Structure 1
Amino acid sequence: MKKSFLLLLCVLALLFTVFTYMFLSKQVQYEQERYKKTTTKLRDSIKLVKNKLTDADYFSLQNNENAQNYFDSTNGGKIIQYEKLIPVVTEKLLDLNANPKGNPYTGQDQIGANKFIINKVKVLNHRWIIADFSDGEYWGEVLLKYFVNEDESISYEVMQSLLYQKQK
């Protein structure tokens, strides 16, 4: 009886070992396939987001080589670095928000108690800026022309301003 019991235990141990080995080898293979699928999916997602970002930044001074070349040839040999110009143009425009009647380059007069201020600015090329503005109730967008003057000051001109209807 002892021999048959030991034989049964050995057979059970062998079966347990075989099933454990098969389970673990399949689990490793499954995890590797899952990792491969997830990695591929993430790479595709990153590529898609990168393409969308490239499309969104198409109209940007940072990506427009023709507009960048404009600053290389201006003022008879005087070169303006566009990397330094973009923050200066943006900062000077946002500094005008401190005006008591609101930013004059929103193209809108004050409607209610609050003044219109510019929230976001994007320099499109060597001549145009698009900006988002609001007074807390009303929102709008403005297309501006900007010029870098001889004395390196920056002047702005409102081309078109759009005020959205108030949301209820």
Structure 2
Amino acid sequence: MKKSFLLLLFVLAFLFTVFTYMFLSKQVKYEQDRYKKTTTKLRDSISLVKTKLVDANYFSLENNENAQNYFDGGSAEKTIQYEKLIPVVTEKLLDLNANPKGNPYTGQDQIGANKFIINKVKILNHRWIIADFSDGEYWGEVLLKYFVNDDESISFEVNQSLLYQK
């Protein structure tokens, strides 16, 4: 009886070991396959996002080599670095929001009690800027021309302004 009981325990232990081994080996394979699928899906998503980002930034001074070359005056003292120019132009335009009548480069007169101020600025190339503006109630966009003068000051000119309906 004792031998049959030990034999039964040995057979059960062997079966338990075989089933555990099979389960764990299948689980590892399943997890590896799932990891591979997830990694592939994430790589595809990252690739898609990168492509969309490149498409979205197509019109920007950072990615437009022809517009960047415009600031290379041929001589070392006349060269303007576009990396430093972008924040300067943006800051100059946003500083005009402090005007009591609102930013004059929104192309819109004050409608209500609030003044129009520029919220976002995107420098498209060596000549154009697109900006988003609002007074808290009305929203719009403006296309600006900007110029870097010989004394390295920045001047702006409203090209087109659009105010959305409420």
TM-score, scaled to structure 1: 0.96
Aligned positions, number: 166
Alignment gaps of 5+ in structure 1: none
User: Residue type matched to 2:149 in 1?
Assistant: N
Shift of 1:75: 8.3
Matches within 5 A, 1:106-145: 106-145=106-145
Q: Is the alpha carbon distance of 1:51 and 1:147 closer, same or farther for their aligned partners in structure 2, counting shifts above 3 Å?
A: same
Q: What SS does the aligned partner of 1:45 have? A: helix
Shift of 1:77: 6.2
Alignment gaps of 5+ in structure 2: none
Report the counterpart of residue 31 of structure 2 in structure 1.
Answer: 31
RMSD value, Cα: 1.3
Show structure 1 runs of 4+ deviating over 4 A: 74-77
User: Does structure 1 residue 98 correspond to structure 2 residue 92?
Assistant: no
TM-score, scaled to structure 2: 0.97
Shift of 1:2: 1.1
Q: Is the alpha carbon distance of 1:74 and 1:142 closer, same or farther for their aligned partners in structure 2, counting shifts above 3 Å?
A: farther
Q: Is the alpha carbon distance of 1:75 and 1:142 closer, same or farther for their aligned partners in structure 2, counting shifts above 3 Å?
A: farther
Report the counterpart of residue 146 of structure 2 in structure 1.
Answer: 146
Whole-Å separation in 1 of the counterparts to 2:142 and 2:64: 21
Whole-Å separation in 2 of the counterparts to 1:118 and 1:131: 7
For the 8 Å contact 1:60–1:124, the answer to whether it is kept is yes
Report the counterpart of residue 65 of structure 1 in structure 2.
Answer: 65
Q: Identity of aligned pairs, percent?
A: 89
Report the counterpart of residue 46 of structure 1 in structure 2.
Answer: 46
For the 8 Å contact 1:103–1:118, the answer to whether it is kept is yes
Q: Is the alpha carbon distance of 1:140 and 1:71 closer, same or farther for their aligned partners in structure 2, counting shifts above 3 Å?
A: same
1:105-159 Cα deviation digits (max 9, x unpaired) = 0000000000000000000000000000000000000000000011111000000
Q: Is the alpha carbon distance of 1:43 and 1:54 closer, same or farther for their aligned partners in structure 2, counting shifts above 3 Å?
A: same
Q: What SS does the aligned partner of 2:46 have? A: helix
Whole-Å separation in 1 of the counterparts to 2:76 and 2:163: 40
Whole-Å separation in 1 of the counterparts to 2:39 and 2:124: 36
Whole-Å separation in 2 of the counterparts to 1:160 and 1:143: 5
